[in-house]
């Protein structure tokens, strides 16, 4: 497994969210994911790629971008969560047992047995 470190673009996004988010809570009122994990600022301030929760948490977000739409400060929390996902996948930390069924389906669907 690759050593956990934060890619530069992700560092910049996390810093931007941390500095710009005012914890107003509007996004949290609209989103079950943020209700569970906190405001974008709280997520950015606590993000640690070495912690297991930091690898699992972003995959629970549906990336619907509702948080982006309701933010009065123009922050894009969904972009931060997408970049955290990408980093997890690059470190081979983004594969979970829950994905096994879907990955197996994709493999079989691409099999010559299932094509015409």
Q: What is the 3-state secondary structure (H, E, C) of 50-69?
A: CCHHHHHHHHHCCCCCHHHH
For the whole model, what pTM was predicted? 0.76
Distance CA 71, CA 42 (A): 15
> Radius of gyration of the chain from Cα atoms?
16
Domains of the chain: 8-114 (1.10.1060)
Residue 24: predicted pLDDT: 97
Cβ-contact 58, 84 below 8 angstroms: yes
Please tell me the predicted confidence (pLDDT) of residue 110.
Answer: 67
Q: What is the mean pLDDT of each run of 10 residues along the chain (116 residues)?
A: 66 96 96 96 92 81 96 96 89 73 75 62
């Amino acid at each position: 497994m690759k050593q956990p470190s934060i890619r530069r673009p992700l560092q910049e996004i996390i810093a931007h969210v941390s500095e710009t988010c005012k914890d107003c809570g509007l996004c949290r009122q609209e989103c079950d994911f943020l209700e569970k994990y906190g405001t974008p600022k709280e997520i950015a301030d606590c993000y640690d790629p070495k912690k297991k929760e930091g690898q699992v948490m972003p995959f629970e977000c549906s990336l619907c971008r509702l948080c982006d739409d309701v933010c009065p400060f123009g922050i894009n929390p969904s972009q931060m969560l997408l970049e955290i996902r990408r980093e997890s996948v690059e470190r081979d930390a983004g594969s979970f047992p829950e994905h096994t069924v879907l990955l197996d389906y994709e493999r079989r669907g691409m099999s010559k047995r299932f094509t015409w």
